[in-house]
Structures are given as C-alpha cells and as structure tokens.
Structure 1
Amino acid sequence: MKVLIVNQSEVRQLMPMNACMDIMETALVTLGKGQGVNPLRWATFLPEEVGGLIGMMPAYLADPPSMGLKAVTVMPGNHGTPYDAHQGAVLLFETEYGCLRAMMDATEITGIRTGAVSGVATRLLARDDADDVAILGSGVQASSHLAAMLVARTARRVRVWSRSDDNANAFSERESSRHGIEIEVMPSAKEAVEGADIICTTTSAREPVLMGEWLSP
C-alpha cells in the first residue's frame, strides 16, 4: 500500500489558515458529540544534559473515520539555530484495517493548528465588532495566531509586544508585509493590551506576561 508523504512546504500550501479553522471546528464539534477519542499527550523527558522531550499524541474521529498519531520532539535549545524547537511527524491511518495512509511534517501542522483553534474560538465567541488585536510574543505561534485572528475578524488595529525588541520589530515588518496591515510595536505588554478586544498570548514564558487588571471590561 502506498503511503503519501507530505513535507513542510506542501503542508503550508495545502492547509491555509481559513481551511484549517473550518477543519478544526468540525473536529471540535465531533469531539463534543462524544464521537472522538483525544487522550492527553504522553511525553518522555530527556536527561538534563540533553534537555527537551519526545511526545506522542494519538487521536480518533468517527466522522470522518480516521485515526492518527503525532510524534514530536521539543528541544528548547534549538532557539537561535537553523532547527525548529518543535519537530516531528503526523501519521494518518484508516480505521478499517489500521493501515498507514500518510506521513506529514508536524512542524507546520503544529503551527497552523494551534492558531486555528484560537481562531475558531474567536470566530464563535468574540464580539462581531472586535477589531483591536494584541499579540504577546513574536515567534511561530504569534504569526499563526495573527493569521487566525485576521480570518476570524477584520482588524482595525494590531499591536505586538515581545520580550525581545529585535524580534518584535522583525515580526512587525514581516507580518505587516504579509498581511498588508500596519502592526504597532509596543514597549510593554500592558501598553500592547490596553483597550484591546482580542488578546493572544503566544510566548514560552514560565511567568505570567498578562495581568487580569490590564483587561478592559
């Protein structure tokens, strides 16, 4: 049996944000009906001298009938290298005989899917006139979440804050060009979220970067 191999660039071409949001909404509805199995991630932490972890995430959906497994490595030490901190593969199986149908690069899927879930929530829960977006962070998930927010709502204003000024400026330049909008770089997280309708926290910080008292009613 032939197995389809889908690489990172092909995932990017085949799964734009709007399509991924629709797929994720369908998957969430299926899970909500009790027609899916989505257990917690299983992870093995690597020795301290190596750092990082390897994790596995199996899942099953009854409609459409499918099951899959994501195997991923998380290597924080990759920041600043040519390699993504999150790498892995998604395996897709058919449900009648359990045969492997496809193997897909997980890096791009992880980036798009995570933002897409937030996009679905925003599309369903945010006010219709929500148009002031704040992004806290400037990495892969910041880009993914911005793309999702722009699908969910028409943004009048977009602000970004990052712990790294250089990264925030690079994000603003790159994403402004990508989406044809102006993105303001803010000097603090508090100023970034002041009066915002939609706030996306996309950092890897272990301490809070967003305080409840900063939120507008």
Structure 2
Amino acid sequence: MAGIRNPLTMSAETVSKYLDMRELIDVVERSLGDLSDKESSGIEQPVRTFVPVKKYQSLLGVMPGYSAKDDALATKLVSVCPQNAGTDIPTHLATILLFEPSNGCLKAIMDGEVITTMRTAAASAAATKYLARDDSKILAIIGAGHQARSHIQALSLLYDFTEVRIWSRTKATATALAHEFGARVCESAEEAVKDADIICTVTFSATPVLQGEWVKAGAHVNAVGACIASSRELSESLTRDAIVYVDSREGALKESGDIIINKAEIYAEVGEVILGRKEAFKHKTTVFISLGVAIEDVVSAKLVYDKYVASQGMQ
C-alpha cells in the first residue's frame, strides 16, 4: 500500500481516466446529502481558509475534510489567479492530498484541477436534477471557460436540450466552445438567458452578470463563479425573488457575495432537499449558489484512488 514514504503521484491524465461524470454526479449528490446530515454521516469539514496574495490579486485556499462513512481523509490546496485568464496557465490550480485515516500516512498526491472542474459541474447537475423542471429544454451558459464546458457535459447527461446558448465577454472563447457542442453564441447575457430553463453563471465577474428581470419565472440558476464575499454574479432582485439553495449554509454565510452583499435569504442546503427534508419547488424560480465544498473533493479523490488501485491489482 502506498504510504508516507511512497505516496502515489497521479497526474491530470490519470485522474481523468478514472473519473466518469455520470458516476461522479451520483457520488457528489450523496456527499451533499451527507454534508447536511453530519451527525449520521460523520463528516468533518471546516469552512475553507483563504490566504490572500494581494501583490498578485490571487488567493490560496486550503480545504480539508473527512467522511467517516467513506473513511476518506483529504485536503485540497487551490490557488485562484484570475490574471491567468487568456494564458496557458489555468486560473485555478489545485492539488489534492489523500491520507490513510487510520494512521495519517499520505496515500496519494493527485492533480486537483480535473477533480475541481468535474465535481463542481457534478454538484450543479445534482442540484439541478432536484430543482429544475423535468421538461427543461434550453440551457444558457454565462462564461466560456473550463467550468462552462464541464457544466454543458454534466447537464447534457440529465436533459435532452434542444438549444444550448453561450455568452462570454471574450467572444473567441465562446465561439470555440459553441463549435465544440453545437451551441449558439449570443451577443449579450440577456439574449442568452431569455426564456432559458436552466442558466449557469460560471464567470470571474465581481459584479452581477445576471439580472433578475431577464430570468423567466420557473427557471433554475446555478451560480458557480463567485466564491469570495466581495464578488457576486447575481443581481439583488434575482436572489430576492427566487428561492435560494446553497451547498453549505455555514460556508455561504461567510464566503458568498451573492448571499452577503445581496442580503439573500437561504431557504435550504441542497443536501436537505436530497434527503427529503426540504421542498424542491421545481415550478418556481430557484437558485443554487455553489461555492464548492471540501467533501466533494474528498469523495472524488477517494473514488479515483480506489478505482486506480483496483485497476492495478494493488492492496
């Protein structure tokens, strides 16, 4: 078994090989339910720590977590560098350290970028499955980066979309992504979301990119891009009039600008809906504010590790 002296090193290519989006949606959905039932599931997850690097307008995040049900212990180190946009270096760089809970040995050092990209979309897909109308046909994506791609991939597994629309401030990236998926590039965010059933905001914008008056009644919104208290993607009117769900109430109250700045009222964690403890309101306008939580990384890393070990015939 890999241990502290010889942990496995798993590249992005290796992680990608052992992550299947459909399987990941199920795993992340279960983890969100477990997060909302900590006493039974034995989840330990402090709110992540951010270290600001003001000189470069970037952040280093530390995200530890443990799941007793999965007997999985890990921490993710993630750097958020918006200035990398448009370069060969990703805006998010992540590494996940997976430990053996029984003795603290380091079992694996694995690329966290692929896991972060895929588990975030898997969380949105899990929430959307409960909160969006079952007959949703039009998907709108605001943003055109890695999260835009992964969200199209994840949501397309659950819905048979007749149209996918994309808007980004950088038209070239929107055009390239649209070509990849047969989507339509829009000239404005308002055009993209008009009459859309499901809307995903996956941007680095510090100010709202989605206005409430643009969103049709009964639509579902996944807000993914604003992960610090000073940034928001949604207008006050949208969070005021919609029913708001989050991945972690504790985290959202400390980290989400869409909650803090907008003074939005949280109705429930999406895990409470998954557990059947809170209502889904599929036919009303709903918003899922996803900050990303450590337990999603923990269970995703454990999934990759276990599948790799099994494939290699390792003990």
Q: Give the counterpart of 1:37 among 31, 44, 48.
A: 44
Aligned position for 2:18: 14
Structure 1: runs of 5 or more not aligned:
177-181
SS of corresponding position for 1:196: coil
Instruction: State the SS of the aligned residue for 1:168.
Output: helix
In structure 2, what is the Cα distance between the partners aligned to 1:216 and 1:53? 35
Q: Aligned partners of 2:192, 2:206: CA distance in 1, in Å? A: 19
Counterpart code for 2:179:
E
**How far apart are residue 4 of structure 1 and its match?**
2.0
Distance (whole Å) between structure 1 residues aligned to residue 87 and residue 185 of structure 2: 25
Report the residue type matching 2:37 in the other structure.
Answer: K
Aligned-pair distance for 1:9? Answer: 1.2
**Mapped contact 2:83–2:91 kept (Cα < 8 A):** yes
Residue of structure 1 equivalent to 2:272: none
Query: Residue 120 of structure 1 contacts residue 152 of structure 1 at CA under 8 Å; is this kept in 2?
Result: no
1:27 aligns with 2:31: yes
Residue 212 of structure 1 and its aligned partner are, at CA, apart by 0.6
1:179 equivalent in structure 2: none
Q: Is the 8 A contact 1:74 1:87 kept in 2?
A: yes
Within 1, Cα distance between the matches of 2:158 and 2:47?
28
Give, in whole Å, the separation in 1 of the partners of 2:194 and 2:85: 30
1:147-189 Cα deviation digits (max 9, x unpaired): 1111221211111111111111111112x2xxxxx30111111
How far, CA to CA, are the matches of 1:62 and 1:154 in structure 2? 37
> Structure 2 matches for 1:25-104, cutoff 5 A?
25-34=29-38, 35=41, 36-48=43-55, 50-104=56-110
Once the two structures are TM-superposed, the CA of residue 94 in structure 1 deviates from its matched residue by 2.1
Within-5 A mapping of 1:1-217: 1=3, 2-34=6-38, 35=41, 36-48=43-55, 50-174=56-180, 176=181, 182-217=182-217
CA distance in 2 between counterparts of 1:9 and 1:146 reads: 21
Instruction: Give how far 1:81 is off.
Output: 2.1
Q: Is the 8 A contact 1:31 1:61 kept in 2?
A: no
Give the Cα separation in 1 of the matches to 2:135 and 2:118. Answer: 25
Question: Is residue 136–residue 202 contact of structure 1 (8 Å, CA) maintained in 2?
Answer: yes
The count of corresponding residues between Structure 1 and Structure 2 is 210
Q: CA offsets per residue over residues 104-153 of structure 1, 9 Å max, x none?
A: 10111111111110010011221111121000110111111111111221
Matches of 1:208 and 1:69 in 2, distance apart?
31
TM-score, length-scaled by structure 1 = 0.92
**Contact between 2:28 and 2:123, CA under 8 Å: does it hold in 1?**
yes
Does the CA-based 8 Å contact 1:116-1:148 persist in structure 2? yes
Query: In structure 1, what is the Cα distance between the partners aligned to 2:72 and 2:173?
Result: 39
1:152 alignment partner, SS class: coil
TM-score (norm 2): 0.64
Q: 1:189 and 1:84 mapped to 2: Cα distance?
A: 24
Match of 2:157, SS?
helix
Q: State the alpha-carbon separation in 1 of the partners of residues 83 and 173 from structure 2.
A: 17
Calculate percent identity across the aligned residue pairs. 39
- RMSD, aligned α-carbons: 1.3
Conserved 8 A contact 2:51-2:59 = yes
The higher-RCO structure (CA 8 Å, 6+ apart) is: 2
**Amino acid paired to 1:214:** W
